[in-house]
């Protein structure tokens, strides 16, 4: 179970990425945040320390806590290793994020998918591939598997917009963490076609499992990023 201070830190991080906080004005003080999140100042202090460690914010003596002005520039074109917000929220500040559905079916899971999603062999899953574009340019090709019983009612509109938004706002599920393996691979035929790359171009593959707040796996995915997309930002605490 994720600790409360980490959940608060992640919520504040989402707000920073979505530019809900100005870089010229201090963040709400600890008393205001403690009241908003209905917790103690100590918990807020721990959440703020986490964000300082990650390089998102800094403090000025007697002036307050501020968002780093170059945070969005540092993360532009790069993937945050700890991020699980989805492309729409992660890249929205860089321009228009859109999705093109390449493949969709409902089927039974493979053994690897069963173990990754903690489901039985007879539990149907959504299997879909989406091309993610930023300002019309292909950035990633994502192959995703989700339990159909968990994400019921998924349709083309959700796939073309934000699946995570549907999961959180409509279904009321809370996304809380991820497990990721990052590796360099050569592109397959699908990558070459949709990411507009050559057979000898490197591809950054992120194999991931996204979890809900109770530890239930929400998705198992392989995301392929163009070699010129950027890198992965890793923060060591």
Q: How confident is the model at residue 90 (pLDDT cuts 50, 70, 90)?
A: low
Q: Which of 140-149, 169-178, 228-237 has the lowest mean pLDDT?
A: 228-237
- pTM score: 0.70
Higher pLDDT, 100 or 15: 100
| Cβ-Cβ contacts under 8 Å for 194 (sequence gap 6 or more) | 100, 102, 131, 138, 141
Which tokens go with 149?
């019983």
Tell me, rounded to whole angstroms, the distance of Cα 68 from its chain centroid. 21
Asked if 4-73 and 76-233 have one fold, the answer is no
Q: Which of 55-59, 142-146, 228-232 has the lowest mean pLDDT?
A: 228-232
Buried b / exposed e over 148-168, threshold 16 CB at 10 Å, is bebbeebeeebbeebbbebbe
1.10.10.10, 2.60.120.10, 3.40.190.10, 1.10.3720.10: which CATH number matches 4-73? Answer: 1.10.10.10
- Predicted pLDDT at 178: 83
- Predicted pLDDT at 216: 93
Flag whether pLDDT at 186 surpasses 80: yes
CATH 3.40.1410.10 fits 76-233, yes or no: yes
Q: How confident is the model at residue 22 (pLDDT cuts 50, 70, 90)?
A: confident
Q: What is the pLDDT of residues 195-215, one digit of tens each?
A: 999 999 999 999 999 998 888
Tell me which range, 48-52, 61-65, 123-127, is most confidently predicted by mean pLDDT: 123-127
Q: How confident is the model at residue 61 (pLDDT cuts 50, 70, 90)?
A: confident
Query: What is the C-alpha separation between 232 and 170, in angstroms, rounded?
Result: 30
Q: What is the pLDDT of residues 100-136, one digit of tens each?
A: 999 999 999 999 999 999 999 999 999 999 999 988 8
SS3 state at 121: coil
Tell me which range, 16-20, 84-88, 185-189, is most confidently predicted by mean pLDDT: 185-189
- Predicted pLDDT at 168: 85
Q: What is the pLDDT of residues 132-167, one digit of tens each?
A: 998 888 989 999 999 999 999 999 999 998 898 899
| Domain parsing of the chain, residue ranges | 4-73, 76-233
Query: What is the C-alpha separation between 138 and 18, in angstroms, rounded?
Result: 22
């Amino acid at each position: 179970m994720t600790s409360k201070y980490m959940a608060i830190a992640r919520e504040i991080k989402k707000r920073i990425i979505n530019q809900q906080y100005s870089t010229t004005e201090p963040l709400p003080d600890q008393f205001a945040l403690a009241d908003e999140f209905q917790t103690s100042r100590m918990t807020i202090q721990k959440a703020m320390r986490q964000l300082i460690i990650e390089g998102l914010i800094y403090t000025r003596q007697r002036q307050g806590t501020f968002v780093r002005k170059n945070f969005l520039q540092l993360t532009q074109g790069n993937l945050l290793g700890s991020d699980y917000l989805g492309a729409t929220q992660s890249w929205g500040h860089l321009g228009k994020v859109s999705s093109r559905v390449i493949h969709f079916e409902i089927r039974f899971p493979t053994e690897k998918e069963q173990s990754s999603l903690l489901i039985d062999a007879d539990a149907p899953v959504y299997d879909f591939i989406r091309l993610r574009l930023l300002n019309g340019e292909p950035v990633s090709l994502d192959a995703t598997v989700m339990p159909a019983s968990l994400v019921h009612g998924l349709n083309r509109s959700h796939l073309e917009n934000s699946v995570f938004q549907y999961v959180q706002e409509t279904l009321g599920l809370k996304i809380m963490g991820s497990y990721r393996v990052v590796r360099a691979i050569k592109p397959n035929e699908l990558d070459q076609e949709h990411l507009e790359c050559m057979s000898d171009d490197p591809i950054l593959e992120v194999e991931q499992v996204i979890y809900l707040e109770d530890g239930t796996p929400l998705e198992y995915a392989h995301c392929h990023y163009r070699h010129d997309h950027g890198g992965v930002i890793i923060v060591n605490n």
